[in-house]
Amino acid sequence: MTKSNSFLATYVGGPTVIIELAGLRIMTDPTLDPAGVYDLGHITLEKYKDPADVDVDKIDLVLLSHDQHQDNLDDAGRELLTRTPKVYTTVIGAERLGGGTIGLNPWEADHIQTPDGSELTITATPARHGPAGIEKITGEVIGFLLSVKGKQNLELYITGDTVYYEGVAEVAKRFNPSHVFIFAGAAQPKGAFHVTMSVNDAIDTAFKFPEAMIIPLHHDGWKHYTQTGDDLKHSFAAVGIDDRLSLLQIGVEAVLQF
């Protein structure tokens, strides 16, 4: 059970984590298919690890940074969306997915009452899936800022698939989250440039959110991830902020204090 001033997080693999707070089970970018090779037409991606064997039958809310890439939303993930009460994603992604999916532009917000009587505000945050000008290649992406007011008051930031850029810095100007879930791994699907955070981006993010614990996702399970959790650990240690990094073990429920 969640203790006072804490919440639960279980890393499923890739960009997928289950966050439990205020009586809700929240999942990011559902990637639930087994390991294998996925031909997306313009590119082939290889997943070398199965997702963690965790309970995904009762997910209350999905935060989907974008729907257009198999390593963020796969076939089993799409099936999960059909039985999830609330799904948030980009506006164009909501149009493609249908089924009551809620589309948000950056800085738009929605408010819901949670089972424990708190109010959860879900604010879409800007994200850029690579260097400047990448949008015409990768499509639209968003992150999410979760703000809970009630029995527990906290803010969490989930970056979505993004590099560090001015949009992430703007989130830091507007919010003060206790935990930042970064999509790391320096993903390089075509060998041209990184489309998610490298260790440099992760460190820049840590210094931009000086009071937050940094929790990396998206660094394990796919061959196009070029940097690992160990790379992050060594890099944070090198600049003296290794106490600000929390690496979740896949399939292990973690209690995160705030």
CA distances from 65 to 27, 47, 164 (A): 11, 19, 15
Query: Which H or E run contains 177?
Result: none
Query: Which H or E run contains 201?
Result: helix 199-208
Q: Distance between CA atoms of 173 and 170, rounded to whole angstroms?
A: 5
Residue at token pair 């390991």: 35
In this prediction, residue 4 carries a pLDDT of 61
Residue ranges of E strands in 14-153 = 16-21, 24-28, 36-39, 44-47, 61-63, 86-89, 102-103, 109-113, 119-126, 142-149
Class of domain 6-252: alpha beta
pTM of the predicted protein model: 0.95
Query: Which H or E run contains 77?
Result: helix 75-81
Can you give the residue ranges of every domain in the chain? 6-252
pLDDT of the chain, 258 residues: tens digit per residue: 444 689 999 999 999 999 999 999 999 999 999 999 988 767 889 999 999 999 998 999 999 999 999 999 999 999 999 999 999 999 999 999 999 999 999 999 999 999 999 999 999 999 999 889 888 888 899 999 999 999 889 999 999 999 999 999 999 999 999 999 999 999 998 777 899 999 999 999 999 999 999 999 999 999 999 999 999 999 999 999 999 999 999 999 999 999
